Amino acid sequence: MAVLGGIGVVTFRQPIRSVLSLVLVMLALSVLFLLLSAQFIFAVQIIVYAGAVMVLFLFVIALLGPARELGRGRLRFQTWLSAL
């Protein structure tokens, strides 16, 4: 699930969907910490990364507004560069 979320972070055009994919990655990594019996790191991962940082990113993206992202076009090499 972490790999699919990481692919979503890179491939989604809308920044809100990309940030939600990043939240999915952080939650999947926290579950991996729980499976490794690292309960403290699991709790820190949930509280700090998937909680506070991602809410801050969503707040900034919501303030920018979706109209700001619509006007940008893709560069020709952008797809190939992201594949690397």
Concatenate the DSSP letters of all residues of 2-40 into one string. Answer: HHHHHHHHHH-SSHHHHHHHHHHHHHHHHHHHHHTT-HH
What is the biggest distance separating any 2 CA atoms in the chain, rounded to whole angstroms? 47
pTM for the whole thing? 0.67
pLDDT confidence of residue 52: 79
pLDDT of residue 7 exceeding 80: yes
| Calpha distance 69→64 (Å, rounded) | 9
pLDDT confidence of residue 30: 92
**DSSP conformational letter for 77:** T
Average pLDDT rounded to a whole number, residues 13-21: 82
Q: Which domain holds residue 71?
A: 2-83
Average pLDDT rounded to a whole number, residues 65-69: 60
pLDDT of residue 68 exceeding 60: no
Q: CATH number of the domain at 47, please.
A: 1.20.120.1200
Structure tokens at 42: 């699991």
Confidence of residue 74 (pLDDT cuts 50, 70, 90): low
Number of independent structural domains in the chain: 1
